[in-house]
Structure 1
Amino acid sequence: MWQIFVRFFTLGLISFGGPAAHIGYFRQTFVSQLNWLDDKRYGNIVALSQFLPGPGSSQVGFAIGYHMGGIAGAVAAFIGFTLPSFLLLYLMAVTSSIWLDHSLFQGAIHGLKLLAVVVVADAVMGMFRQFCQKPAARAIMVFSTVLLLLFSGIVAQIALIGLSAVLGYMFLVHPESDTKPEQDAGIRWGYLLSFGILLVGGSVIAGNGSLAGLFGQFFQAGSLVFGGGHVVLPLLESTVGSEMAPDRFLAGYALAQAVPGPMFTLATFLGAEVWLSNPFIGALVATLAIFLPGFLLMLAFIKSWHALSQRPKVAGIVAGINAGVVGLLLSALYSPVFVSGVLNAADMALVVAGFGILKLMRVHIVLLVAGFAAAGMLMTLV
């Protein structure tokens, strides 16, 4: 468990760039470097995370921890990956944020945004080689990329996943395999029932002024978010935005994008802002509440999903989804990752150099983080 925690804690310290970059960091660390799981199982986990509401990249990390160490491993992965951003956003909520405007800090953040371009590009290349070997899969990937570049937003993403599944069923059904399939453990109804009870109960008491009401507000938001961290903004604004000044709400959103780790830790900042009598308790309750729905659903379906994904027709559906996810990552590589990071020719030169170093020299990601942060700070001084 300690090794799982340390690995995810290290990633939680350096994983800038949002969900697309996190998927790249996870693949590079747990598939390419550590061989904790292979590309096929990793792709199945990513595909399942696209179906379920909640924090997509955190669900992938949670599932990797579960794969390695059961429930304890999943919890260790969640705590490790989330703890850095939780602590940072809590401290930012209760202390002055004047230092955030310092040019060197902003330069370091800019450098890490450029690193996110390198990481996502590497993830797109790796997943393309794994999941887009057939012409039909490549066609789905290209179609998905074009669709999401032209029509952004959660509706387009959900439509894309559904359409990719249909196209996979039509054109990518695998022949019967000689490999022995995993035993189908079925849906774990206890977790699904817990999710339903908490959602109904939380919706009833949400916003009643109690700590349980605070839990209900954030659990409800976490239950309705498809598409990642950015989509949680309007939901939280409608539930807790009225309980604080608009500029503080937007400041929390900006800070959640500036720190590493999952953007769902915006709940940490908002919980501390709302529960002024004990900001730490408010931050803790809000954070646990917004992550819990996605994790309960992941636990409910992950066993049956791995078994189902080995059946030929379901495997075709998964192959279609995986190809669609590659297209989703490729579109995310452009927006928001590239357009928010690469601002001029010097930025692009640093991205190309970093990509070359990553592919040719196999430098450890921690060294790349330090190098890009230092380069970003130096660029502010030039």
Structure 2
Amino acid sequence: MANVRIGIVGLGNMGTGHARYLIKNEVKGGELVAVADPREDQLAWAKEELGEHVARFETMEEMIASGTIDGVLICTPHYAHPEQAAKALELGMHVLIEKPAGVYTRQVREMNEAAAKSDKVFGIMYNQRTNPLYAKLKDLIASGELGEVRRTNWIITNWYRPQSYYDSGGWRATWAGEGGGVLINQDPHQLDLWQWTTGMMPTRVRAFCAFGKHRNIEVENDVTAYVEYENGATGLFVTSTYETPGTNRFEITGERGKIVVEDDQIKFWRTRVSETEFNETFKGGFGQPECWKCDVPVKGGNPGHKGITQDWVNAIANGTPLLAPGEEGIKGLTLSNAMLLSTWTDNWVDLPINEDLFYTKLQEQIAASQSNKKADDYQTLEVKGTH
């Protein structure tokens, strides 16, 4: 079969990063043939770095109309992802979008509806799903090794960002420019992995977000969220961008023990019998199941962005299932939207969330944003830099 002809939309840090490995033919069966960006300097970069044979366009629509591509890799600002993805799907393109899926679930749901009407392959750049640590964790839970999940706890505070990082661009850490802070910029991978590895979405969320804590910014940079699941399990998600040294520790407890993912390792404290069985049969006053501490072997490297792009190309060429379907981007976004909405309303938020209420609250934040630019203005910029 001929190579899948790929066009990149948006040549910021992420777009140029994808272009560099594609132009080196590091994705088998995929070929970079075109790029689109409204900025003359970025198109000049493409001409010099990618060569004359890679076609250059100012808009995605022009690139698609040229008939030179089979699919698009969308690397534009957060707000633009759903609209551009839906448009590309409607125009007969296969689509791979950078994370996050969007800023608010109502818009992302409309994108998913467009994907449902299309017969094209729609993926999202959740490159941490290719990490063997999380693939192994997902397998341990899905296979029943841990038993029923009873608690999840993720502390992810190693996103340290100094004030100079936020000052490097007027769009950074603004409601109009990015649509949020740590939840939409740094944490989309963790919010996705939280539900993907456990196979569970909460039924309700109570969160406490701090806005501009220890930083001169308007968006959330400190979050503590408590969630409840249908089976009675509970969870905690703690994240920030001002703590150093930070922590990245994901702990899941179940009937058969406890799993901890930290420092690129998986440790499993596995009970010899399930807690349920022990509780039903043990007759002493004090006691607990025999427990074995196991270092879980994890094999293979993490192909990251290239791995997701390769997976997308394989799905187009061979019909293989996607590791990260684009439709699943709404799950992690639902969690971040719920956390913000809980804070704004100072109340519990049931899932699925009230999408219209969240949109209204978001518009209030945008209207008061320190940035003088509206979100639509940022569709001409690339804000997917170093998250």
TM-score (norm 1): 0.28
1 or 2, which has the higher helix percentage? 1
Question: Given the two structures, how large is their TM-score scaled by the length of structure 2?
Answer: 0.27
Bigger RCO (CA 8 Å, 6+ sep): 1
